[in-house]
C-alpha cells in the first residue's frame, strides 16, 4: 500500500460520520460506508419501516415492519461488520438534542433526507458547526450528490429551492383543469369532510341559490341519520357533490364564458337501482377490523389490477362501496381520519372521487396506481439510482476527509446519456453573495402592513418559507415574537414592555394575563403593534437552535393577485434596500446575473466568476438534452435539484 492509500485509509478509519436519513439512499449509504472501512457511524431517522419500503430498502425485511429504520439498519450492517461502531437515533433531526454542539463532534455529515425543511435545517447546523455537508437526492432514474463546505462552496440554500406546489382554492373548488386539481379536491376537501373533522369549514355545502331546488339536506348533507340506509346516504353524497354542486357552479354564467362547462353527474344515471344486490354484502368482505389499512372495495367489485383504467360506472361503484366500507368496518375512526397513501380504502375512495369529478370537467381519467402516486406525491424510486448515489456520496466524503478541495465535485446521475455520459460531474460554485443563509444578505418582504397580522408573518414567512424552528423576531430593540426559553434579560424586558403597552390599551377590568397579552400581540396587525411595523421597517429574525440570523426589509404593498400571490405577501432575496436603511444594494432576480454592490472586492469577484460559469453552463445546456425537468426541485422519495446553470467539468 503506497503513502496516498495509507493516508486515505487512515482518514476513513479515524473519521466520525453523521448520516441523516436511513431510507432508500440511507440503506445503501450505510452499507457502502461500512464496506469502505468507516469505523464510527451515527444515524438519525425518525421513520418506521413500512411494507412499501421493502422493494428498495434492502436492509429491511417484512418482519421489521413498524420498527425504527435507524435501529434495524444498524443491526443489519453489524451482522456483517460486527467490529465497527454504529450508533442509531430514532428521532427527528430537528429535536433540541441535535444542536450545534452535537454536530461539531463529526468530521462530515451525509444527508439522505426526503424533505426540503429538514435539508435546510441540517444545512444551517452544519454552517454553524463548520462541518462539511454532502447532500444527495434521487427521483426515478435521476440523482445528484453535492458538496457544501463553509466558506469554500455554496451552501445548500445558495440556490433558491421552489416551494411545494400549491393551488388556489377557487381552482380546486370551482374550475379544475388538471387531474391533480381533482385529487386535491377529493383528498383535502371531500375525504376530510366525510371522514375527518366534521366541523371543518370548506365549500362542499355550496348549492344553487334557487330555493325550489333546495331541501333540508342542504344544511346537513354530510350528516348521516341513525336510521338512514347506507345506500341512500352514499347516493345522497354522490348527487350532492357531483350533481347539485356542479349545477350551482353552472349558474354563474360569467365563470364559463371562456371555459369548458362541466357536466353534472347523478347516481341514477350511472348506478343500478340496488347496489347491494349486484355487489354482494359487505359482511362477506374477508378483511378484519384489526387490519384496517387493508380493507378494500376492489375485491367486492371484481377489480384486481390497480393499473387498469376504470370507467365512470366502475369509479362510481368504487366510490359508493368504499364509503359503505368505512361506515361498516371503520366506523370508530370516522371523525378522526386523515388521508394516508398506505391506506388502501382511502386511496380507492380518493381515486374514484377524483375520476368522477374529472369526468364531469372533461379531464382525462387516471388509474388507481397513477392516482396514488399523485395523491401521495410519489415518484417511484429506483434502487439502482439509490446505490449509485450512495457510492458517489462516499467518494465525495473521502475527498472531504482528505481535504482535497480541488477535487470536490457535484455529480448528476442522468436518465439518458448526454455527451455519452450518464454521470455528469460539476465543479462546485463559491458561496453565493446573495444567499441570506451563508452570506447574511437581507431579504425583502412585500406585505400589506395594515391588513396582515404578526401571526401571518410568523406562519407564512418565518416558519414556512425560512424554515425556522425556534424563531425570534426583533424590530430594532423591541422583541416582537419568540419561541424558546433561553433569551437574555434585556430581550425579555423589552418584550414585557411591549406587552405592558398592550395592557394599557385595554380596560383595567379585563384581567389580561401574560399569555392573553401575548396572544393579543400575535393577532395584532403589523402596523398596530406596540412597535409598529410599516414601510421601511427592518426586522431581525433569528433561530436559536440553528444559530441563524437574517434581516428582512419590509415594503408595504396595498394589493396582491389572489391567483398568483394567494398568501397576500411576497418574500424575495437581495434587492434594493429601503432608503431608511442607509445602505445600498442591487441585484437582479434573474439567477443568471448576480450583481452586488459591496465594498468587498471578494464579493464582486465571486459574482463575476459565477456569471462566467453560468454563461458557460447556458452554452452547455443547449447541447444537453434530457438533463433538466420542468422543475429544478422534484419532490419524490428524496428531492433532487438538477440546476440549469452548472458548468460541466471537461
**All cell numbers assigned to 258:** 371562456
Query: What is the structure's pLDDT at 575?
Result: 33
pLDDT for the residue 127: 94
Q: pLDDT tens, 10-33?
A: 899 999 999 999 999 999 999 999
Task: Answer left, alpha or beta for residue 5, where phi above 0 means left and psi between -120 and 50 means alpha.
Answer: alpha
Structure confidence at residue 629 as a pLDDT band (50, 70, 90):
very low
Average pLDDT over all residues of the chain: 79
* Lowest mean per-residue pLDDT among 36-45, 70-79, 406-415, 495-504: 495-504
Q: Tell me, which fold does domain 443-573 have in CATH?
A: 3.10.290
Stretch 274-282: mean pLDDT, rounded? 50
Neighbour tally for 176: CB within 10 Å: 23
What is the per-residue pLDDT for 155? 94
Query: Phi and psi at residue 4, in whole multiples of 5°?
Result: -60, -45
In whole angstroms, how far apart are CA 139 and each of 16, 46, 176, 275? 29, 21, 27, 42
Rounded CA-CA distance 550/540 in Å is 6
Q: Is residue 476 classed as helix, strand or coil in its secondary structure?
A: coil
**pLDDT per residue as tens digits for the range 193-250:** 899 876 666 656 554 344 334 444 445 688 888 888 899 999 999 999 999 999 988 9
Q: Is residue 235 part of an annotated ligand binding site?
A: no
What mean pLDDT is predicted for residues 278-305? 66
| Residues labelled as active-site residues | 170
Distance (Å, whole) CA 184 – CA 169: 10
- pLDDT at residue number 524: 80
Quote the CA–CA distance of 200 and 481 in Å, as a whole number: 29
DSSP class per residue in 410-456? EEEEEEEEETTEEEEEEPPPPPPTT-TTTS-PPEEEEE-TTT-BHHH
Residue 55 in marked binding region: yes
Are 539 and 473 a contacting pair, CB within 8 Å?
Answer: yes
DSSP 253-297: GGGGSSSPPP----HHHHS-S-HHHHH--GGG----GGGGGG--S
Average pLDDT over every residue of 491-509: 51
CA 179, CA 315: separation in Å to the nearest integer? 15
Q: Inform me whether the pLDDT recorded for 116 exceeds 90.
A: no
Provide Rg for the chain, Cα atoms.
28
The C-alpha torsion from 262 through 268 and 271 to 274, rounded to 10°, is 160
Q: Is the pLDDT of residue 472 over 60?
A: yes
- Read off the pLDDT of residues 121-140 as tens digits, 9 standing for 90 and up: 999 999 999 999 999 999 88
Q: Do 463 and 481 form a contact (C-beta atoms < 8 A)?
A: no
Dump pLDDT digits (tens) for 386-439: 999 999 999 999 999 999 999 999 999 998 888 888 999 989 989 998 888 988
CATH number for domain 169-375, candidates 1.10.10.520, 1.10.20.140, 3.90.105.10, 1.10.3720.10: 1.10.10.520
Question: For residues 413 and 385, is the Cβ–Cβ distance under 8 A?
Answer: yes
Q: Indicate the range of 2-11, 321-330, 553-562, 574-583 predicted with least confidence.
A: 574-583
Query: In this structure, are strands 633-634 and 640-641 parallel, antiparallel, or unpaired?
Result: antiparallel
CA distance 367 to 351: 8
How confident is the model at residue 293, as a pLDDT?
60
Nearest to 346 by CA among 235, 188, 220: 188
pLDDT at 591 over 60: no
Cβ–Cβ under 8 Å, residues 646 and 147: no
Task: Kindly list the domain boundaries of the chain, sorted by start residue.
Answer: 3-163+380-426, 169-375, 443-573
- Partners of 337 in the β-ladder: none
At residue 292, the pLDDT reads 60
Question: Is residue 337 annotated as involved in ligand binding?
Answer: no
Whether residue 23 is annotated as binding a ligand: the answer is: yes
> pLDDT value at position 567?
85
Per-residue model confidence (pLDDT) at position 495: 54
Residues of the chain with pLDDT > 90, as a percent, come to 46
pLDDT surpassing 60 at residue 574: no
Q: How many CA atoms lie within 13 A of 584 on its CB side?
A: 3
Is 196 known to sit in a ligand binding site? no
Is the pLDDT confidence value at 548 over 70?
yes
Handedness of CA 504, 508, 514, 520 (dihedral sign): negative
C-alpha 333 chain-centroid distance:
26
Give the sheet arrangement for strand 410-418, strand by strand.
Answer: 85-89, 40-44, 16-20, 108-111, 133-139, 142-148, 410-418, 421-426
300-307 contacts: CB < 8 A, separation 24 or more?
306/367, 306/368, 306/369, 306/372, 307/367, 307/368, 307/369, 307/370
Question: Picking from 29-38, 50-59, 373-382, 606-615, which range would have the lowest pLDDT averaged per residue?
Answer: 606-615
Top-confidence residue, 548 or 169: 548
Q: Which three cell numbers stand for residue 41?
A: 457511524
189 known ligand binder? no
pLDDT of residue 253: 85
CA quadruple 19, 436, 467, 426: dihedral sign:
negative
**Across 177-188, average pLDDT:** 93
Whether residue 26 is annotated as binding a ligand: the answer is yes
**Does residue 366 carry a pLDDT above 90?**
yes
CATH match for 3-163+380-426 among 3.40.50.720, 3.40.228.10, 1.10.3720.10, 1.10.150.20: 3.40.50.720
Residue 69 counted as an annotated binding residue: yes
Amino acid at each position: 500500500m503506497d503513502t496516498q492509500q495509507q493516508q486515505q485509509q487512515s482518514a476513513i478509519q479515524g473519521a466520525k460520520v453523521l448520516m441523516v436519513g436511513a431510507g432508500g439512499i440511507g440503506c445503501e449509504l450505510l452499507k457502502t460506508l461500512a464496506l469502505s472501512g468507516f469505523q464510527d457511524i451515527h444515524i438519525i431517522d425518525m421513520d418506521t419501516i413500512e411494507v412499501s419500503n421493502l422493494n428498495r430498502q434492502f436492509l429491511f425485511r417484512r418482519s421489521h415492519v413498524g420498527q425504527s429504520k435507524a435501529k434495524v439498519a444498524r443491526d443489519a450492517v453489524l451482522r456483517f461488520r460486527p467490529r465497527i461502531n454504529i450508533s442509531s437515533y430514532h428521532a427527528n433531526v430537528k429535536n433540541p438534542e441535535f444542536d450545534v454542539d452535537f454536530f461539531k463532534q463529526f468530521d462530515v455529515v451525509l444527508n439522505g433526507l426526503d424533505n426540503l425543511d429538514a435539508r435546510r435545517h441540517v444545512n444551517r447546523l452544519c454552517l454553524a458547526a463548520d462541518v462539511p455537508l454532502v447532500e444527495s437526492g434521487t427521483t426515478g432514474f435521476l440523482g445528484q450528490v453535492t458538496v457544501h463546505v463553509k466558506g469554500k462552496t455554496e451552501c445548500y440554500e445558495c440556490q433558491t429551492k421552489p416551494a411545494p406546489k400549491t393551488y388556489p382554492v377557487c381552482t380546486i373548488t370551482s374550475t379544475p383543469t388538471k387531474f391533480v386539481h381533482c385529487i386535491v379536491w377529493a383528498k383535502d376537501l371531500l375525504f376530510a369532510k366525510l371522514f375527518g373533522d366534521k366541523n371543518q369549514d370548506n365549500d362542499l355545502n355550496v348549492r344553487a341559490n334557487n330555493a325550489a331546488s333546495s331541501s333540508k339536506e342542504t344544511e346537513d348533507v354530510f350528516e348521516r341519520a341513525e336510521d338512514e340506509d347506507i345506500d341512500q346516504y352514499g347516493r345522497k353524497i354522490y348527487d350532492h357533490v357531483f350533481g347539485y354542486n356542479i349545477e350551482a357552479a353552472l349558474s354563474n354564467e360569467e365563470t364559463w364564458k371562456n371555459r369548458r362547462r362541466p357536466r353534472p353527474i347523478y347516481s341514477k344515471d350511472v348506478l343500478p337501482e340496488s347496489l347491494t344486490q349486484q355487489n354482494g354484502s359487505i359482511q362477506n368482505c374477508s378483511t378484519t377490523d384489526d387490519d384496517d389499512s387493508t380493507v378494500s372495495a376492489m375485491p367486492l367489485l371484481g377489480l384486481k389490477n390497480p393499473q387498469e383504467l376504470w370507467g365512470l360506472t366502475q369509479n362510481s361503484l368504487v366510490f359508493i362501496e368504499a364509503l359503505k366500507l368505512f361506515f361498516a368496518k371503520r366506523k370508530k375512526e370516522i371523525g378522526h381520519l386523515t388521508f394516508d397513501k398506505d391506506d388502501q380504502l382511502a386511496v380507492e375512495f380518493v381515486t374514484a372521487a377524483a375520476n368522477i369529478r374529472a369526468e364531469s370537467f372533461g379531464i382525462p381519467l387516471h388509474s388507481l396506481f397513477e392516482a396514488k402516486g399523485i395523491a401521495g406525491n410519489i415518484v417511484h424510486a429506483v434502487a439502482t439510482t439509490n446505490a449509485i448515489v450512495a457510492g458517489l456520496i462516499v467518494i465525495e466524503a473521502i475527498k472531504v476527509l482528505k481535504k482535497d478541495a480541488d477535487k470536490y465535485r457535484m455529480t448528476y446521475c442522468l436518465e439518458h446519456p448526454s455527451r455519452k455520459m450518464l454521470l455528469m460531474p460539476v465543479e462546485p460554485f463559491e458561496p453565493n453573495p446573495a444567499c441570506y443563509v451563508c452570506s447574511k444578505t437581507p431579504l425583502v418582504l412585500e406585505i400589506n402592513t395594515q391588513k396582515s397580522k404578526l401571526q401571518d408573518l410568523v406562519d407564512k414567512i418565518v416558519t414556512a418559507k425560512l424554515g425556522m424552528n425556534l424563531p425570534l423576531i426583533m424590530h430594532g430593540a423591541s422583541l416582537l415574537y419568540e419561541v424558546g426559553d433561553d433569551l437574555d434579560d434585556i430581550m425579555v424586558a423589552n418584550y414585557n414592555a411591549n406587552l405592558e403597552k398592550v395592557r394599557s390599551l385595554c380596560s383595567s377590568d379585563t384581567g389580561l394575563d401574560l399569555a392573553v397579552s401575548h396572544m393579543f400581540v400575535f393577532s395584532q396587525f403589523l402596523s398596530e403593534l406596540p412597535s409598529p411595523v410599516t414601510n421601511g421597517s427592518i426586522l431581525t429574525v433569528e433561530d436559536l437552535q440553528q444559530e441563524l440570523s437574517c434581516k428582512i426589509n419590509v415594503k408595504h404593498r396595498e394589493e396582491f393577485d389572489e391567483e398568483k400571490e394567494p398568501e397576500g405577501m411576497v418574500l424575495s432575496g437581495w434587492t434594493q434596500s429601503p432608503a431608511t436603511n442607509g445602505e445600498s444594494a442591487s441585484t437582479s432576480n434573474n439567477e443568471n446575473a448576480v450583481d452586488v454592490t459591496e465594498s468587498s472586492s471578494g464579493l464582486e469577484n465571486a459574482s463575476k466568476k459565477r456569471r462566467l460559469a453560468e454563461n458557460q453552463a447556458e452554452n452547455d445546456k443547449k447541447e444537453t438534452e434530457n438533463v433538466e425537468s420542468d422543475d429544478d426541485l422534484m419532490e419524490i422519495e428524496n428531492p433532487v435539484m438538477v440546476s440549469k446553470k452548472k458548468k460541466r467539468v471537461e
